[in-house]
Amino acid sequence: MGEPKHAAAAGRSMVDPLEPPPRDLPEKVLLRRIRQEHDQGAREELITRYLPLVRGLARRFASRGQPVEDLIQVGSIGLIKAIDRFDPDRGVELSTYATPTIMGEIKRYFRDKGWAVKVPRALQDLNVRLNRVVEQLTVDLNRSPSIADMAKACGVSEEEVLEALESGRAYNSLSIYGSGTSEEEDAFEIADCLGGEEGAYELVEQRRFLAPAMEHLDERERLILHLRFFEGMTQTQIAARVGISQMHVSRLIRKAVDVLRQTIVGEGEHDTRL
């Protein structure tokens, strides 16, 4: 006679000395336990592992007037939803699936509160100044200037430069979830699509999230987006690098961004129906 279900569940909650604790198990094993056995220990372990991702995404909104700890709490709700809904059989990484869910939860928090996203005037002014400085430094140095180069030229800290550049993208960008049609901006707020810890880890997460959608672009379009959004090059610099006109670069960026937007939003709508 088989063991009653409640007894099996009770057994799962007991510590098995021969079984490694959740913290020592691979992610795939934890996901299987959550999916097949509703293992709360495995669920809690995954939440712990992905909290750095939540913190990184929450920090992106640090300049918008709300305590980062509050945003981390809100983002954690999105993480839990993503873990509970995630299907490992779809061939997508959990971090890739969770990122837009976490971002959506944080953005919903701002919308529900009725707070407009406003970039401080000082950052707007610095961003405008940086645009001129970058062009001049590119000529003077014969290369794309680094953050340190920009900070020295403007007489500000590297942190202020990074914040101004990010705020400038947020101020001028066209969200992938929006429907703007500006032809003057090749805007695509990649930072809002993905996230992660600061620096290199963040870029890795961005590339991982965008990779499936980027497959819908040709090689030249992928190169142009990489130069624009990951290398920080201007349209003029890209035109010289690729060997086409600045206007052609602008058209290609708008076309590529539209393809990415349709692809990612389409996937997001599919996820909400799961």
Give the torsion sign (CA, 129, 132, 135, 136).
negative
57 & 95 share domain? yes
Q: Is residue 13 part of a domain?
A: no
Residues 38 and 105 in one domain: yes
- Looking at residue 183, its pLDDT comes to 34
In this structure, are 229 and 244 located in the same domain?
yes
Listed residue (165, 185, 167) closest to 231, CA to CA: 165
- Burial track 162-201 (b if 16+ CB lie within 10 A, e otherwise): ebbbbbbbbebbbbbbeeeeeeeebbbbbbbbbbbeeeee
Looking at the structure, tell me whether residues 270 and 182 fall in a common domain: yes
Give whole-number Cα distances, 130 to 149, 186, 189, 249, 256, in Å: 11, 18, 18, 21, 26
pLDDT computed for residue 134 by the predictor: 84
In the chain (274 residues long), the average pLDDT of successive 10-residue segments reads 43 48 79 87 90 89 80 92 85 81 84 55 81 85 83 88 67 38 37 37 49 79 80 82 87 82 57 44
How many Cα atoms within 13 Å fall on the side-chain side of residue 201? 11
107 and 135 together in one domain: no
Closest alpha carbon to 90 in 267, 236, 269: 267
What CATH number did the domain enclosing 203 receive?
Answer: 1.10.10.10
Count of structural domains, the chain = 3
| pLDDT tens, residue by residue, 160-198 | 887 777 665 544 433 333 333 333 333 334 444 433 333
d(CA 43, CA 22): 9
Whether residue 14 is contained in a domain is answered as: no
Q: Using CA atoms, how far apart are residues 189 and 203, in angstroms rounded to an integer?
A: 13
Q: What is the pTM of this model?
A: 0.40
Return d(Cα 89, Cα 225) in angstroms, integer. 30
**Within this chain, do residues 204 and 221 fall inside the same structural domain, yes or no?**
yes
Q: Which residue's entry shows tokens 């707020």? A: 189
Kindly state whether residues 267 and 212 are assigned to the same domain.
yes
Predicted confidence at residue 167, as pLDDT, reads: 60
Residues with Cβ within 8 Å of 123's Cβ and at least 6 positions away in sequence, in order, are 63, 163, 164, 167, 168
d(CA 156, CA 123): 12
Q: Is residue 44 part of a domain?
A: yes
Determine the pLDDT at residue 72. 93
- Cα separation, 156 vs 191, whole angstroms: 23
Please tell me the predicted confidence (pLDDT) of residue 152.
92
Expressed as residue numbers, the domain containing 231 is 178-189+197-274
